[in-house]
Amino acid sequence: MEQVLTAMETERRLQQWERLSFRLLSVQVLKGEEGVRLPQQLNFCYALILVAGGEVRLIVDNRQHELSPGSVYLCMPEQTIGTAAPASGLDMSIFYFEVFAAREEGGGYYPVKDAALFPPDTLLSVFPAKQISAIYGEVFKLSGDDSQRISFRAQIDFQELLYAIHVNSRRQPRNTGTALDQAKEYIEAHYMEPITTREMAQAAGLSPKYFLDLFKKKYGKSAVDYIAELRLAEAKRLMAEQGSKLKDIAHRVGFADEFYFSRKFKKTIGVAPAVYMKRRSRKLVAYTPAVLGQLLPLNLMPYAAALHPKWTEYYYRKYRNDIPLHISAYRNNQEWEANIELLRRVPADLLIAGDELEAEERSALEELAPVYYCGEAGGDWRGQFMRLAEVLGERWQADQWLEHYDREIAAGRERLHSRLAGEAVVVVRMLGRQLYLHCNHGMAGLLYGELKLTPAYRSGSGTYDIPVTPAELAALSADHLLMLIRRESDTLAEWARLENDPAWMQIPAVQRHRVHLLSSDPWREHSAYAQLRMLRQTLQLLAADRP
């Protein structure tokens, strides 16, 4: 399986090197636009091969290896190496060196011929050009007879090159899908820096042209557009910070020219950066809990929000320090009068709430500031999300988020269908002693709509909450039970009792250990961000490797 070399693995390999010593003998460079070839040769020392550009088929003994930009290959002593055919646009360096190991007793060193310094499928995420250039500067001081003189400085630079390979290496991906994911991760880690097509292709282990074609085909946009998208999203986040200057923001997110940044921003977002920054200074209030789940995908953080350590546990844990004013989210806003009094002290530019408020609460809220109502909890979350984005001037951000969400849905659907192979699922809600076959609007839309899972129970309305017994559950022949258990003492005590009930243990899904626990947060929340969290939890529960 493809994987990045872990810090633990890197450290373990470096510890093995502590008793080793290295001596650089010579350096060979193969570089040119056409007809570059390495004749077959027998090596009596180690040969470290690094490809900076182009692609080449390397023959080691009788085996061929495809090397692309960023590839590293270590040829062992007494192996033969050469290229299969002349390569075009090749930039390849070969470092010939010896390895010695310290004797455990008696002191001194002895030559080592079998030191496996690197895995045979090593790929560099960042090519160590500086270290190689430093070695060139020292090694290529040729004497009159064209022999290379390896200076003390060059030996040190070579040691640093070996270390750089350890730090920047990862496993060579075995398929283009993994290679592109690897490159995408590299982009997301470095998009605020100057980044070239060559570096991105190198991270994937592909040629630049092939990489660009595959990236657009897989992600629906060019790699350059994806970098610009990441930079603009980060710029929008920075614009919310007090005292931020446009010039500083442009440079921080990777634009060298602030005027180009302004033009790009206006063309993409629809308004000039200065206008957007003014909008961002508005004080927004997420009056009902689900509103925060609509604002976060828009990269907006409200000044005040309904938070509670139990009822909105996820948002409270992750964002409470980012939101200056907390209003109560206790039991669906039962403490609304206290919330109104708290908000009277802080002028707000816009209050955002759900449609579920009673008339008296609505009237009191509307006296404070303009109010936007998101819609009913059972409505179309996508439509509600986009309408809110329009009101807030965040249509571009909403489009980008939904595009990413839909791609994650498509990948998740494919993964679930390959793992479940038609196995049926059902959600069971537990309150006190009573079990219910349960499906709310969010569950129906995600599980059976977007992910197209097979329901063990079908209802004409799509949503339902029907009392059920363990015996009736067994008759459904559900392959997976998704349990939504109310987190209070009486219900939890009944759940502990039920798990040992003989009737419960007769259910096929229980016998196969396919009972999965859901939490009310996010499964009872109606928002864009809740849908994403539900998707990821579904994959974690149902698509994990099973024996």
Report strand pairing: 454-455 vs 424-431. Answer: parallel
To which residue do tokens 């039962």 refer?
Answer: 334
Query: Which pLDDT score is estimated for 129?
Result: 62
What mean pLDDT is predicted for residues 398-407? 93
Query: Which pLDDT score is estimated for 293?
Result: 94
Condensed to tens digits (0 to 9), the pLDDT of residues 160-207 reads 888 877 766 655 555 666 778 878 888 888 889 888 888 888 777 777
> What distance in Å separates the CA atoms of residue 291 and residue 305, rounded to the nearest whole number?
8
Q: Which residues of 104-127 are buried (b: 16+ CB within 10 A; e: fewer)?
A: eeeeeeeeeeebebbbebbbbbeb
Segment among 104-113, 130-139, 389-398 with least mean pLDDT = 130-139
Band of residue 154 on the pLDDT scale cut at 50, 70, 90: confident
SS (H, E, C) 137-187: HHHCCCCCCCCCCCCHHHHHHHHHHHHHHHHHEEECCCCHHHHHHHHHHHH
Closest to 452 measured CA to CA, from 542, 386, 546? 542
Condensed to tens digits (0 to 9), the pLDDT of residues 323-340 reads 889 998 865 556 788 899
Are 213 and 204 in contact by the 8 Å Cβ rule? The answer is: no
Domain ranges of the chain: 7-170, 176-220, 225-280, 284-375, 402-542
What mean pLDDT is predicted for residues 342-354? 90
Segment among 107-121, 358-372, 406-420 with least mean pLDDT = 107-121
Q: Which CATH number describes the domain made up of 7-170?
A: 2.60.120.10
pLDDT for 432 beyond 90: yes
Are 215 and 201 in contact by the 8 Å Cβ rule? The answer is: no
Condensed to tens digits (0 to 9), the pLDDT of residues 75-91 reads 999 888 988 776 778 88
Query: Which pLDDT score is estimated for 124?
Result: 62
CA 176 vs. chain centroid, Å, equals 17
CB proximity list for 418: less than 8 A, separation 6 or greater:
none
Q: Which CATH number describes the domain made up of 402-542?
A: 3.40.50.1980
pLDDT for 144 beyond 50: no
Amino acid at 345: R
Question: CA separation (Å) from 371 to 56, 347, 359?
Answer: 64, 13, 13
Handedness of CA 366, 364, 381, 527 (dihedral sign): positive
Condensed to tens digits (0 to 9), the pLDDT of residues 255-273 reads 888 888 888 888 888 888 8
Residue 514: how many other CB atoms lie within 10 Å: 19
Facing residues of 83 across strands?
Answer: 58
Report strand pairing: 20-32 vs 72-75. Answer: unpaired
Query: Which pLDDT score is estimated for 3?
Result: 39
Q: What percent of the chain shows pLDDT beyond 90? A: 34
Structural class in CATH, domain 225-280: mainly alpha
pLDDT for 426 beyond 90: yes
Condensed to tens digits (0 to 9), the pLDDT of residues 1-27 reads 333 444 455 555 556 777 889 999 988
Q: Which residues of 458-496 are buried (b: 16+ CB within 10 A; e: fewer)?
A: eeeeeebeeebebeebbebebbbbbbbbeeeeebeebbe
Condensed to tens digits (0 to 9), the pLDDT of residues 477-514 reads 899 999 999 888 899 999 999 999 999 999 999 999 99
> What distance in Å separates the CA atoms of residue 69 and residue 55, rounded to the nearest whole number?
7
> What distance in Å separates the CA atoms of residue 502 and residue 504, rounded to the nearest whole number?
5
What mean pLDDT is predicted for residues 438-448? 93
> What distance in Å separates the CA atoms of residue 29 and residue 201, rounded to the nearest whole number?
22
Band of residue 122 on the pLDDT scale cut at 50, 70, 90: low
Query: Which pLDDT score is estimated for 443?
Result: 93
> What distance in Å separates the CA atoms of residue 215 and residue 223, rounded to the nearest whole number?
6
Separation of first and last alpha carbons in the chain: 18
> What distance in Å separates the CA atoms of residue 539 and residue 418, rounded to the nearest whole number?
12
pLDDT for 282 beyond 90: no
Condensed to tens digits (0 to 9), the pLDDT of residues 453-480 reads 999 998 877 899 999 999 999 999 899 9
Amino acid at 339: N
Query: Which pLDDT score is estimated for 120?
Result: 59
Band of residue 145 on the pLDDT scale cut at 50, 70, 90: very low
To which residue do tokens 């990862």 refer?
Answer: 170
Band of residue 428 on the pLDDT scale cut at 50, 70, 90: very high
Average pLDDT, the chain: 84
Closest to 3 measured CA to CA, from 121, 115, 117? 121
Question: CA separation (Å) from 295 to 310, 324, 378, 504, 520?
Answer: 20, 16, 18, 41, 20
Query: Which pLDDT score is estimated for 147?
Result: 59
Query: Which pLDDT score is estimated for 108?
Result: 84
More confident site: 535 or 312: 535
CATH topology of domain 284-375: Rossmann fold (3.40.50)
Query: Which pLDDT score is estimated for 6?
Result: 47
Phi-psi region of 305 (alpha: psi -120 to 50; beta: other; left: phi over 0): beta
Do the domains spanning 225-280 and 284-375 agree at the CATH topology level?
no
More confident site: 147 or 276: 276
Query: Which pLDDT score is estimated for 218?
Result: 84
How long is the chain?
A: 547
Condensed to tens digits (0 to 9), the pLDDT of residues 87-99 reads 778 888 899 999 9
Query: Which pLDDT score is estimated for 11?
Result: 55
> What distance in Å separates the CA atoms of residue 342 and residue 198, rounded to the nearest whole number?
55
> What distance in Å separates the CA atoms of residue 441 and residue 461, rounded to the nearest whole number?
10
To which residue do tokens 């009972």 refer?
Answer: 515
